[in-house]
Amino acid sequence: MIVHPKMRGFICTTAHPVGCNMNVRHQAEYARQHKINGPKRVLVIGSSGGYGLACRLTAAFSCKADTVGVFFDRPASGSRTATAGWYNNVSFEKLAGQDGCAFISINGDAYSDEVKKQTIEAIKSLPGGQVDLVIYSLAAPNRVNPRDGQKHSSVIKPVGKSFTGKTVDFHTGQVYETSISPASEDEIAGTVAVMGGEDWLFWIEELKKSGSLAPKAATMAFSYIGPTLTHDIYKDGTIGRAKEDLEEKCTMINSLLAQDGGRAYVAVNKGLVTQASSAIPVVPLYISLIYKLMKEKGSHEGCIEQMVRLFERVYSGGSQPNWDSIPVDEKGRIRMDDWEMDDSIQSGLDKLWAKVSTENLEELTDIAGYREDFYRMFGFGIKGVDYQADVEI
Ligand code: NAD
């Protein structure tokens, strides 16, 4: 089949298998070039895209770790392509196999008890039968809480007041003002239930109870803060409430892990184009400005560069880290957004933000780089791929 990008709203409903494969290979190659004396057995929850995929690649190809990956993706059926994450996982497995790293992949709902049980069985079947690092990198629209059967949905809305701000339709290049009314109490609670830390805590409780965590095991989940101009919609909005909950649960997880010398962290990552972030108003315009400024300064990173740097930071003292030597902020978070939040970048941003419009978008921002990264996520627009060729989906 000849596969073209097909858009519906914020997502591309097709994915190119050869392009996705190239994408994973490029990231694996970067990871291979950065050897890290890091964890040896790693569980990644949310391993087929964005930051989670980059973590699994770093674990396998920088650290030579065996990995278990959990994700929720759709295989191809009839003339419908698989999701990008499904192709990414196939490519990951091929490369990990070639490098002699053991791997087990579980495609199912990570929020469910069943997938947690399946994962524990998978960990037990690996050499050693335990993991020394658990990455929690889910971004999902819905969650069914397995303990009470309640279904929750997450929304991206401001809290307590309406939000009006600039955003961009990155397909047409139109910059316009968008207004979003405040979330209801139910919407706030729903977003916290889906994107907060409760499920992370459930995972660690189950893993600990089943003896699947090695002594001194670490776990990390990801957050975002961003500059003031995105706070109303992100940090102070529904998703920010969920991230506050993630930090609260991090404290609880820390108490659980401390008994065996382990540690839990929230890492605050850079804002990047992923399937999750492209759905947030304002963020695409902000990211296209940040891309421009950071590329000019030579400090731009993608998911793989961010995650390799994170692993290097955490494991700088070797595979058994000295937790107290890992640099953290006043709230104990690892700040991988340090280069994004650098004063020179943020003051440049403020100046450009005031001026940016439909007319000067291409000149003031790196909207071209944003678009490129968006299509690349689905395997399109990648050099060396013949998009006119008939491919097996
Ligand atoms: P993503 O959409 O690229 O990846 C999400 C992953 O979760 C995929 O592997 C997907 O298959 C998996 N997933 C979704 N629902 C699932 C389910 N029910 N069961 C199993 N797997 C499921 O997302 P991302 O942008 O990499 O986000 C990961 C984390 O990083 C989130 O917590 C996000 O808030 C955080 N973060 C993202 C950014 C950003 O700019 N993208 C910045 C900082 C922090």
Report the pLDDT value the prediction gives residue 12, as an integer from 0 to 100.
Answer: 92
Is the beta carbon of 224 within 6 A of some atom in ligand 1?
yes
Say whether 302 sits in a helix, a strand or coil: coil
- In order of 13, 86, 89, 280, 372, the CA distances from 6 in angstroms are 6, 17, 21, 20, 15
Name the nearest CA neighbour of 65 among 345, 247, 307. 307
Pairing of strands 213-223, 131-136: parallel
* Tokens at 156, concatenated: 């991206």
Out of 51, 234, 291, 315, pick the active-site residue.
234
User: What is the chain's length?
Assistant: 393
- Cα(252)–Cα(255) distance, rounded to whole angstroms? 5
Strand pairing partners for 168? 175
140 C-alpha to ligand 1 centroid (Å): 7
Distance 263 CA to ligand 1 centre (A): 22
269 pocket-lining for ligand 1 (C-beta < 6 Å): yes
Can you give the pLDDT at residue 387? 98
Determine if ligand 1 sits within 6 Å of the CB of residue 85. Answer: yes
Question: Residue 326 CB: number of other CB atoms within 10 A?
Answer: 17
- CB of 139 closer than 6 angstroms to any ligand 1 atom: yes
253-306 pLDDT per residue, tens: 999 999 999 999 999 999 999 877 887 888 899 999 999 999 999 999 999 999
Helix (H, G, I), strand (E, B), or coil: what is residue 273?
coil
Q: How far apart are CA 32 and CA 161, in angstroms?
A: 47
Q: Which of 274, 309, 339 to mutate to test the pocket of ligand 1 (most atoms within 8 A of CB)?
A: 274
pTM higher than 0.95, yes or no? yes
Rounded to 5 degrees, φ, ψ at 5 are -70, 135
Helix, strand, coil % in the chain, rounded to nearest 5 = 40, 15, 40
Query: Using CA atoms, how far apart are residues 24 and 302, in angstroms rounded to an integer?
Result: 13
Q: Is there an atom of ligand 1 within 6 Å of 137 CB?
A: yes
Which letter does DSSP use for residue 340 in this model?
T
How much is the pLDDT for 353?
A: 95
Low-confidence stretches of the chain (pLDDT beneath 50): none
Per-residue pLDDT tens for 13-35?
A: 999 999 999 999 999 999 999 99
Ligand 1 centroid from CA 15, angstroms: 18
Residues 6+ apart with CB under 8 A from 319: 37, 38, 39, 40, 63, 132
Q: Which residue has the tokens 């057995």?
A: 41
Residues 46/70, Cβ–Cβ less than 8 Å: yes
CB-count exposure of residue 154 (10 Å: 0-12, 13-18, 19+): buried
Asked if 297 and 345 count as a contact pair (C-beta separation under 8 A), the reply is: yes
Nearest CA to ligand 1 atom 40: 271
Q: Residue 281 has what pLDDT?
A: 83
The atom number, within ligand 1, closest to the CA of 195 reads 32
Rounded CA-CA distance 159/240 in Å is 9
Cα angle at 304 between 372 and 202, to 5 degrees?
115
List of domains in the chain = 7-156+187-279+300-337 (3.40.50.720)
Residue 234 annotated among the catalytic residues of the structure: yes
Residue with the nearest Cα to atom 3 of ligand 1? 50
For residue 143, report the distance from its CA to the centre of ligand 1, in Å.
13
Pocket of ligand 1 contains residue 274 by CB under 6 Å: yes
Query: What's the CA-to-centroid distance between 321 and ligand 1, angstroms?
Result: 26
**pLDDT, tens digit, 9 for 90 and up, residues 125-151:** 999 999 999 999 999 999 999 999 999
User: Is the separation of the CB atoms in 19 and 46 below 8 Å?
Assistant: no
pLDDT for 277:
82
Q: What are phi and psi of 132, to 5 degrees?
A: -105, 0
